[in-house]
Amino acid sequence: MEILDGRKTAKDIRKSIKIKVDELIAQGKRVPGLAVVIVGFDPASESYVKSKEKACKRAGIYSKLIKLESEISQETLLEEINKLNRDENIDGILIQLPLPAHIDPDAVMNCIDPIKDVDGFNFINIGSLCVGKEYLAPCTPKGIIRLLKHYNIELSGKKVCIIGRSNIVGKPLALLFLQENCTVTVCHSRTKNPEFHTLNSDIIVPAVGISKFLKSDMVSEGAIVIDVGINVDSDGKICGDVDYESVAPKCSFITPVPGGVGPMTIALLLENTFIAYRKLISS
């Protein structure tokens, strides 16, 4: 069994982005910029946002944090986004989810200029991904594919089982695996006998947000397991969607939690910001 080290892989990606950013700045280009908008207070969101800011700084990317009160109207929020759409020092715009219940997340995501949509949640970018013409794809799914490729894992022809059909992970990840010529099954809360699908898969990706959901009797010998979950177990410890102790010995490769998919998401956010920056400075 080999561990897919997301922390180390993410560091390599961040380093290579920093080199490319420094080169462009040395040629006289402006500094790339990422705006992160957070509405209301959510402890998990605060912690993600801090990690994103730190990663930007280290990669030579300017980061602008915009904190808005939870009572903000949808109209005012859309005005704030339009200001960022027009801001020439901002290449990427990320609106931290979840948003308060009175705000329609689709209206917010679709207000972001698709060129600056580093989360890839805008309908235009989702549509492009769907027809295989990806511009900015969501960071977590992109991070998962990148991690597998970093370890030279052959994807073509592999049977993949994704558990979870969210717009942030499950659905875009299914599209990216299809693009890699995998055969993809997406299980969800109404799937009967998920173990029937997981036992027949080469790669299993649980993204359900349930502590230790994937047990060893759901995994075949030699499977590759990518754990997207970040949960807190009954002892208050961070754990994933995989019952790691029992599943890991059966795997050929597995991601740890923490230190697997999480750091890759942030690295790919920087990469998406760099892609948007390169497009904007050349347009």
Q: Which residues bind ligand GUN (CB under 6 A)?
A: 94-97, 119, 139-140, 168
Residue with smallest beta-carbon separation from ligand GUN: 97
**Minimal distance, residue 168 CB to ligand GUN, in Å:** 5
- Closer residue to ligand GUN, CB minimum distance, 21 or 94: 94
- 52 as an active site residue: the answer is yes
Q: Which long-range contacts (CB under 8 A, 24 or more apart) does 149-157 make?
A: 150/9, 150/12, 151/2, 151/4, 151/253, 153/224, 153/253, 155/180, 155/181, 155/182, 155/203, 156/180, 156/181, 156/182, 157/181, 157/182, 157/183
Catalytic pick from 91, 96, 142, 243? 96
- Closer residue to ligand GUN, CB minimum distance, 170 or 202: 170
**Minimal distance, residue 109 CB to ligand GUN, in Å:** 9
Query: According to the 3-state scheme, what is the secondary structure of 233-260?
Result: CCCCCEECCECHHHHHHHCCEECCCCCC
Q: Which residues contact 13 (CB under 8 A, 6 or more apart)?
A: 146, 264, 267, 268, 270, 271
**Minimal distance, residue 37 CB to ligand GUN, in Å:** 9
124: exposed, middle or buried (C-beta count within 10 Å: 0-12, 13-18, 19+)? middle
- Closer residue to ligand GUN, CB minimum distance, 139 or 161: 139
Angle at which helix 123-130 crosses helix 170-179, to 10 degrees, equals 30
- Closer residue to ligand GUN, CB minimum distance, 97 or 153: 97
- Closer residue to ligand GUN, CB minimum distance, 81 or 139: 139
- 5 as an active site residue: the answer is no
**Whole-number Å distance between alpha carbons of 155 and 178:** 10
Query: According to the 3-state scheme, what is the secondary structure of 6-43?
Result: HHHHHHHHHHHHHHHHHHHHHCCCCCCEEEEEEECCCH
**Minimal distance, residue 230 CB to ligand GUN, in Å:** 9
**Minimal distance, residue 152 CB to ligand GUN, in Å:** 26
Contact assessment for residue 60 and residue 18, using Cβ atoms and an 8 Å cutoff: yes
**Minimal distance, residue 149 CB to ligand GUN, in Å:** 20
Catalytic pick from 91, 116, 117, 119? 119
- Closer residue to ligand GUN, CB minimum distance, 94 or 175: 94
The set of catalytic residues is 52, 96, 119
